[in-house]
Amino acid sequence: MKMEKESGGRAAVSMVMGIVSMVGCCVPLLPVGLALAAIIVGIGSMVKNDGSRGMAITGVVCGGLGLVMGLISAIGWMNWLLFSIPPMRM
């Protein structure tokens, strides 16, 4: 009888990327890419059913929250750049 090893590698990667995207939300545009990757990898892990479904769900949820927080942060950074720097007068 052959025992198959359940590997949650993709689920763990999704969870880590989701958490990092939430923590790094004050860096412009970095969390958006990480969050999208976390969501894609987490959904792929759930579809392939490679074990660790809880970590995959955590990765998707944290990725979604990181995406929202990253977009809000990016909007805040753009607002700051556009309106806090005085226009140049010639």
pLDDT of residue 5: 52
**pLDDT at site 84:** 83
pLDDT for residue 28 is more than 80: no
Residue 24 pLDDT: 87
pLDDT in tens, 31-76: 889 999 999 999 999 898 877 888 999 999 999 999 999 999 889 8
First to last CA, the chain: 81
Q: Report the distance separating Cα 63 and Cα 34, nearest Å.
A: 7
Burial track 47-81 (b if 16+ CB lie within 10 A, e otherwise): eeebbbeebbbbbbbbbbbbbebbeebbeeeeeee
